[in-house]
Amino acid sequence: MKEYEQLFTDSIREELKSFAEYRTSYKEIWTLRNILSVLHWDSEITLPEDGRAERGDQIGFLSGLIHSKYAGEKFYVLAEKAREENEKKNLPGQEERRVELEILFKDLNRSRCLSQDLVEEFSVTTSKAHAVWAKARKENQFADFAPILTKIVELCKKQTESYGYETEAYDALLEGYEPGERASNLENLFFNLKNSLKPLVARGKNFNNPFPKEIPILFQKKLGENLPSILGLSSKISRLDPSEHPFSTSLGRKDKRITTRYDLKDPLSSIFSILHETGHALYEAGISEIVGGPSPLHDSVSLGIHESQSRLWENQVGRSREFWEMYYPIFLNSLELKESDLSFSKLFSYINQSSSSLIRVEADQITYNLHIILRFEIERALINGQVQVSELPELWNSKMKDLLGIEVPSDREGVLQDVHWSGGAFGYFPTYTLGNIYSAQLFQAFSKQTPNFPEQVLKKKDFSSLLEWLKKNVHWKGKFFSAEDLIRTATSADPDSSHLVAYLENKLTELESIDHG
């Protein structure tokens, strides 16, 4: 990996003493963040139930410690000295170091807006909220989750006041996930996308679950455990576990964790969760290959770009005909099914069906974005003070009826279905649709340059050309470019939702041509 090769070599290190000191301190903070990620991962995967209260205190303490080190005066002064030194000494990599420090100070100034007390209270509250949400969801009791969600919303509002904003409070939270993006821009983008999707939604077809029987979890685990390595994520640097809500996290350069959940009646639920989370992990693994880290440049540019990687592997790859013609024999063998039990045409049609559904993570490619628009509109109104937590179930159900034409039978399948709000992740949901837009545009650019990719998948089970293209054009760029500039550089075009619409139109045409038997 040659990106940023001249950024901070040993010879330059000798010349830039202050920069070296800043980098040493940054590495310490980076290490502490990875340790915090381990605590969060363990909280969702292996932590005994009675240990949650103490773990919340541990997470709160460590979060406060990291914040004090990162946003404290000592580190700020080190970074200022590094910036001054870099400007004075015209050494190779000067521009890259300038960009690195520019990115650092933008984030640093944002972090310094928050008091340590607010950071600790937010961390402790959201750590405890996950268990409350999981229990409330299981028992279908939104009222049990509402009090702690109300506190989280209050803390998020305090954050917005600390950060400051020009137009609306929601923008201050959106900035943390998608730098430079604004709610008013998303409102226009989503309105236009919704209008483009309407005729496609009408063309969608629904197919019944084709599985002749329940599939034991043991069989599903056997099937899914090898899928990440097929795509290019080595088992030597990754781990797959079950969780209430699938997620991916990086605990270090060579430690990428992914999770999935299993459905006895539909093993595809697990498969597509694995495809999605593997996409995230591949991106993190690619970033870890950039030389000269850790640094602020050794990070993802935005959640929209991060999501583009997971959605690309989940949809453009994972729902393609060539993928399933390759994977179909493996699929049947692992689940102990015969072709007479489950024909390829029925399976492929079911995979690419399109119809309105209750659950976001199980929604098809066309209607998925309507789920995101619903969440964006609700959380924007919530943070801007236009609705209260107590109104969420009714508002959710009303919007589901309006956008998707569905009556919501329970809060478990409605307002309680997502984990994000329990973690205070307001502003996160819009990045999913941005990721869909970016993924379609990236894959189209790759396909033009690599027209024989379908043949590589079918004959060799080889995804390396795609992975290497993504590494070169996305992963190894780190945070050096903005999201828009990254897409523009990789595809030679501005970000444009028309690529997503065209891709979805082609999928519908493909589905319509199949004999569904």
Task: Say what the pLDDT of residue 2 is.
Answer: 54
Ramachandran area for residue 482 (φ above 0: left; ψ -120 to 50: alpha; else beta) = beta
Q: Could you read off the pLDDT of 53-68 as tens digits, one per residue? A: 899 899 989 999 999 9
| 106: its two tokens | 């933008």
Q: How does strand 248-252 pair with strand 238-242?
A: unpaired
- φ/ψ of residue 410, rounded to 5: -160, 160
Taking only the tens place, the pLDDT of each residue in 329-364 is 999 999 999 999 999 999 999 999 998 889 998 889
d(C-alpha 425, C-alpha 156), whole Å: 9
Rounded (10°) angle between helices 303-311 and 430-449: 60
Strand 248-252 relative to strand 255-260: parallel, antiparallel, unpaired?
A: antiparallel
Residue 29 has pLDDT above 70, yes or no: yes
Q: What residues does 239 pair with on adjacent strands? A: 257
Catalytic residues: 277
Confidence grade of residue 488 (pLDDT, cut at 50, 70, 90): very high
Q: Report yes or no: 321 and 510 within 8 Å, Cβ to Cβ.
A: yes
Instruction: Check: CB of residue 264 under 8 Å from CB of residue 215.
Output: yes
Q: In this structure, are residues 350 and 319 in contact, taking their beta carbons and an 8 Å threshold?
A: no
Average pLDDT, the chain: 93
**Residue 44 to residues 49, 122, 238, 282, 473, Cα–Cα distance (Å):** 10, 18, 17, 21, 33
Report the C-alpha gap between 175 and 170 in whole angstroms.
9
- Dihedral sign of CA atoms 308, 314, 320, 322 in order: positive
In degrees, to the nearest 5, what angle opens at C-alpha 262 toward C-alphas 257 and 263? 160
The pTM score is 0.88
SS3 (DSSP) at 259? strand
Q: What is the tally of helices (H) and strands (E) in the chain?
A: 22, 3
pLDDT tens-digit series, residues 92-150: 889 999 999 999 999 999 988 989 899 889 999 998 999 999 999 999 999 999 999 99
Q: For 422, which DSSP code? A: G
Reduced DSSP (H G I as helix, E B as strand, rest coil) percent helix, strand, coil of the chain, to 5: 65, 5, 30
What is the tens place of the pLDDT at every residue in 140-165? 999 999 999 999 999 999 999 999 99
| pLDDT tens for each residue of 246-268 | 999 999 999 999 999 999 999 99
